[in-house]
Structure 1
Amino acid sequence: MAVYHAYIVGLHGRSIGVVQIDCADDDAAIKSAMRLVDSHDVEVWQTDRPVARFDAPSKQLFRK
């Protein structure tokens, strides 16, 4: 198992929370982190390596 961190991203790109995810690989970590996306963006990292970023659905609605 590898340790990943899902960072909940608030205003101005600042982390407002973190969830540790223990997964077998990147794909499993991504699937787990996708469930955390609600009104805030989520970034998935493994140590200092960025794995994925998910934009909050409400944010996507307002893009032009």
Structure 2
Amino acid sequence: MASVAQSSTQVVSTGDVNSDASVFQLIQTHQEKAARLPPVEEIRTVLNQSTHGMLSTISQDCSWLLSAEL
């Protein structure tokens, strides 16, 4: 007697919009309470993790002129 293979299909629900929004809200609340690095350390971390970067400073001497030094 030959056996017949039956395939089963599983459907995964991504959830409704309300539960996705509540998860996002939980993450955002946690991030607001979490300790942060000082801005200088955040910049160092970003630049250490990237292969390309640019640091720009805006000149305050000529506020009427939009200029930047690279």
Q: TM range, normalised to the smaller chain?
A: under 0.3
Higher share of residues assigned strand:
1
TM-score by length of 1: 0.25
Q: Which has the higher contact order (CA 8 A, sep 6+)?
A: 1
TM-score by length of 2: 0.23
Higher share of residues assigned helix:
2
